[in-house]
Amino acid sequence: MIHAFILIVLIAGNQEPNPMYFRSIDVCQYYAKRVVNQYGNYRYRSMVPAEHRITAYCKPIKVNPDETVVYDY
């Protein structure tokens, strides 16, 4: 078992069923930031339709690297 970070992505409040795991929190947070900003300037969140609103965050977790794909980049 190793420590990793799971990228949790919520679209319209529903969690996406295929999580991604990263060794580095910095890499995980990079992807979390990029996912939520794909509709342009995030401060105009109210202009994004509710069904397209995305929230993403990283959570520490222990995984078995023999059974789980853990990305380094």
User: What confidence category does residue 16 fall into, taking pLDDT thresholds of 50, 70 and 90?
Assistant: confident
Tell me the residue range of the domain where 48 lies.
2-71
Assess contact for 6 and 21: CB atoms under 8 A: yes
Assess contact for 9 and 21: CB atoms under 8 A: no
Residues 6+ apart with CB under 8 A from 8: 15, 19, 56, 57, 58, 59
Q: What is the pLDDT of residue 48?
A: 74
17 CB burial (10 A radius; 0-12, 13-18, 19+): exposed
**Geometric angle at alpha carbon 63, from 61 and 66, rounded to 5°:** 165
Our count of domains for the chain comes to: 1
Q: Averaged over 13-35, what is the pLDDT? A: 93
